[in-house]
Structure 1
Amino acid sequence: MSKYVFGVDIGGTTVKLGFFDVEGTLLDKWEIPTRTQDNGSYILPDIAKSIQEKMEEKQVDASEVAGVGVGAPGPIDSEGVVHKAVNLGWDTFSIKDTLEDILHVPVKAGNDANVAALGEMWKGGGQGSRNLIVVTLGTGVGGGIIVEGRVLTGAIGAGGEIGHIHVEDEEDECCGCGNKGCLEQYASATGITRLAVRKLAASDKESMLREGEVSAKTVFDAVKQNDALAIEVAEEFGKYLGDGLSVIAGVVNPETIVIGGGVSKAGEVLMDYIKPHFIKNVFHANRDVKFALATLGNDAGIYGSAKLVLEA
C-alpha cells in the first residue's frame, strides 16, 4: 500500500524536492542544482538519482511510493509532455515517460505555476476552496486556476497564464513574451518598479523613493509611510491587477483568489489597492470572492507536485 509521495519543483538554478506521506505531511525537503548544460539532459536523471538516494536513506521500497509529481516552467499537458521549456534548454518530450523509465513508479507533471496553485489549495492560503485563482507576483506574474479541485491546464498546458492577459493598449515596450501591454508588465515586482521609475520621471513630487533603490518592496514600504507618490504607483498597480482578476473571475467564478510570490510579502496592504478595482468591475455574482495571501512560500511547488500525484 502506498504510504509516500515525492514532489519536485524544477527551477532555473535549483530543483526543490519534497518527501511527503500521502496525507500531505512534509517529512523531508532538500535541493539539488539544476544542470541545464547539454539542453537540460542531466536534469531528470539527477532528480531520479536524488530520489533513489532518499528512498535508500529512508528505507522506502518503490511499492510504498504513490508516485513522483513534477512541476516545471513551460507548458506541460495532461499527459506529462512538456512543450518546450526555454529556461531549461528542453524541447518537446515526455517528462512522465522519461522519469518512469528510470524510477519505475508513477509520474505526473504540470506547469510550475499551476502546481504551486494546487499546493496553495491543498495546504496553503486556499485551503477549504475547490475553485480558486492563484496569482504569483514575482519577477513575472504566474498563475494557476483550479476548478473543482483540479488544475485548468488547457490544450497543451498553457492554461492559467494570468501574466500574459492584455491589459494596456498604450504600451511601447515589449513584455518578455513578445507582446505589449501584458499584466506582467505592471503587476510583477519588475513591473511595479517600472511603474515607479516612470512616475518619478514624470513628477516633481517629493518621495522616499528618490532616496535610494527603487523596487516593489521599497514602493510598498513607502506606501505604509503614506508617501503620496508611492501611493499613486500602488493605485496604478492595483487597477491593472484588480481589473485583470475581475475578467478572469467572470470566466471561472472562483471562491477564493490567493495572492503569492515575493510581492505578497508586503502583506494585507496589497488588498487595499487590488480589491476596490476588482469589486468595481467584476460581475455581481463574484463580488463576494474571498482574497487571501499565499502561505506556503517557496514550498508551494513541492506540495502541489505531490498533490498532482494524489489527485490522479
Structure 2
Amino acid sequence: MARNLIGIDLGGTTTKMAFLSLAGEVLTKWSIPTDIADEGSHIVPNIIDSISQHITNSEFSKDDFLGIGMGTPGSVDIENGTVIGAFNLNWKKRQQVRDQIQAGLGLQFILDNDANVASLGEYWKGAGEKDSDVVFVTLGTGVGGGVIAGGHLLHGINGGAGELGHVTVQPNGYLCTCGKRGCLEQYASATGVVHVAADMAKDFMGTSRLKEMEDNQESVTSKMVFYLADNGDILANQVVDRVTFYLGLALANVANILNPANIIIGGGVSNAGNTLLQPTTRYFQENAFPAVRDSTKLRLAQLGNDAGIIGAASLALRFQKTN
C-alpha cells in the first residue's frame, strides 16, 4: 500500500526534493543545483536521476509512493503537464515535464506554479491550517501569490489567479518585468525594497547609515534595510514605511474582494518579522472595508523553505482524491 509522497520545489538556482508521509510529514529532504545550461534541457533528467538514486538508497521502493507533485516557475498548463516562459530556468519553449517524469520514474506526476504550491504548503501544514479561505503572498526576488477559496486553489481562466505581485500600487510607477508600471513586485520584493531605498536616499538630507551606504555605493540588501530600520535609522524607517504602505494597500484590496480568514506573508523578505508585519497591518487596516478589517488577519508564514516541497507533495495527494 503506497503510503508516501514525493515533493519537488524547482527554483532557478536550487531544486529541493523530499519524501513525505501522506500526513505531510517530511521524512527526508535534499537538494541539487538547478542546471539551466543548454536551454534548461538538463533540469528534468537531473531530477529523475536524483529521485531514482534516493529511492534506491532508501528503505523504500517505487511502490511505496503514491505520486509526485512539483512547483515550478513559469506558466503552467496543469491539464497537459507542461511549462513555458520560465525565464530563470532558461525554459523559453514549452517543456513536456509530466511526460518526461512519468516515463522516467513510472509514478503519477502533477505540477503547478511555485507560488500556488507554496500556498498549498502553508494551507496544509503551516499558518493557514484549519482555514478553508486563505490568501498567500510570497515576498522574494519577485512577489508571488496564491488564493485558496473554500478549500480550492484558484487558477482563473488562464492560470493567472493570485498574481498579487502585479496588483498596481503606484499608477505610472516603476516599470515591471511584466511590461506594466507600478506593480507591487517592484516595491515589496527584495529587489523592490532596494530600488525604493536607492530612490529615497537621493532626496534624504539627514544623518543615516543607509544614506551613507547608498552614497558610497556599498551593496544594500532588503535584509540590511530592515535591520537598520530596527536599529533606529531614520531613512531605513522611511523606506520600510513606504514599502509596507504599498503592501498593506495591495493586501487590503485583495481582502476586500475575497475576505479570507488569513493572509499569510512568506518569502525571504518576511524574515523581517514584526518590523514588516506591524506597519503592513496598520496600512491594511486603514484600507480595508470595516467588515473585512475585523475578520481577516495578517500572519507570517511558518514553513520557511519547506512550504514548496510540502505543497508540492499535497498536489499528488489532491490529485489522487479527485481522480
How far the C-alpha of 1:311 sits from its partner, in A, is 1.7
Alignment partners' CA distance in 1, 2:228 and 2:104: 52
How far the C-alpha of 1:100 sits from its partner, in A, is 1.1
Residue of structure 2 equivalent to 1:159: 161
Structure 1 gap ranges (5+): none
How far the C-alpha of 1:41 sits from its partner, in A, is 1.9
- Aligned to 1:58, the other structure's residue is in SS state coil
Alignment partners' CA distance in 1, 2:64 and 2:11: 27
Which whole-Å deviations, capped at 9, do the CAs of 1:237-267 have from their partners, x for residues lacking one?
1111111111111222211111111111111
2:45 aligned with 1:39, yes or no?
no
CA contact (8 A) 2:262 2:298 kept: yes
Which whole-Å deviations, capped at 9, do the CAs of 1:144-171 have from their partners, x for residues lacking one?
2122233222233332211112111132
Residue of structure 1 equivalent to 2:52: 52
How far the C-alpha of 1:202 sits from its partner, in A, is 0.7
Residue of structure 1 equivalent to 2:197: 196
How far the C-alpha of 1:183 sits from its partner, in A, is 0.5
Residue of structure 1 equivalent to 2:309: 302
Q: Give the alignment's TM-score, normalised by structure 1.
A: 0.94
How far the C-alpha of 1:82 sits from its partner, in A, is 1.6
Residue of structure 2 equivalent to 1:66: 66
Q: Which runs of structure 2 are paired with 1:114-263 in the superposition (5 Å)? A: 114-171=116-173, 173-212=174-213, 213-263=219-269
Range moving further from structure 2, 237-246 or 208-217: 208-217
- Aligned to 1:29, the other structure's residue is in SS state strand
Residue of structure 1 equivalent to 2:216: none
How far the C-alpha of 1:190 sits from its partner, in A, is 1.4
How far the C-alpha of 1:208 sits from its partner, in A, is 2.6
CA contact (8 A) 1:141 1:187 kept: yes
Range moving further from structure 2, 77-86 or 131-140: 77-86
Residue of structure 1 equivalent to 2:100: 98
Range moving further from structure 2, 255-264 or 279-288: 279-288
Range moving further from structure 2, 111-120 or 52-61: 52-61
How far the C-alpha of 1:7 sits from its partner, in A, is 0.3
Which whole-Å deviations, capped at 9, do the CAs of 1:118-148 have from their partners, x for residues lacking one?
1111122222222111111112111221222
Equivalent AA in structure 2 for residue 198 of structure 1 = D
Alignment partners' CA distance in 2, 1:224 and 1:128: 33
Alignment partners' CA distance in 1, 2:276 and 2:89: 32
CA contact (8 A) 1:257 1:291 kept: yes
Which whole-Å deviations, capped at 9, do the CAs of 1:34-89 have from their partners, x for residues lacking one?
12222222211211121111111223233221100011101213323223322223
Q: Percent identity?
A: 43
- Aligned to 1:68, the other structure's residue is in SS state strand
Alignment partners' CA distance in 2, 1:153 and 1:97: 22
CA contact (8 A) 2:204 2:211 kept: no
Alignment partners' CA distance in 1, 2:95 and 2:258: 30
How far the C-alpha of 1:306 sits from its partner, in A, is 0.4
Equivalent AA in structure 2 for residue 174 of structure 1 = L
Alignment partners' CA distance in 1, 2:275 and 2:90: 38
Alignment partners' CA distance in 2, 1:11 and 1:238: 26
CA contact (8 A) 1:77 1:154 kept: no
CA contact (8 A) 1:119 1:307 kept: yes
- Aligned to 1:76, the other structure's residue is in SS state strand
Range moving further from structure 2, 157-166 or 237-246: 157-166
Equivalent AA in structure 1 for residue 109 of structure 2 = V
Alignment partners' CA distance in 2, 1:270 and 1:189: 12
Q: How many residues align?
A: 311
2:82 aligned with 1:81, yes or no?
yes
How far the C-alpha of 1:307 sits from its partner, in A, is 0.8
CA contact (8 A) 2:68 2:107 kept: yes
Residue of structure 2 equivalent to 1:269: 275
Range moving further from structure 2, 75-84 or 233-242: 75-84
Alignment partners' CA distance in 2, 1:231 and 1:86: 34
Q: Post-superposition, which runs of at least 4 consecutive aligned residues in structure 1 deviate over 6 A? A: none
How far the C-alpha of 1:233 sits from its partner, in A, is 1.4
Q: Are residues 243 and 38 of structure 1, via their aligned partners in 2, closer, same or farther at CA, if it must alter by over 3 Å?
A: same
Alignment partners' CA distance in 1, 2:221 and 2:41: 36
- Aligned to 2:30, the other structure's residue is in SS state strand
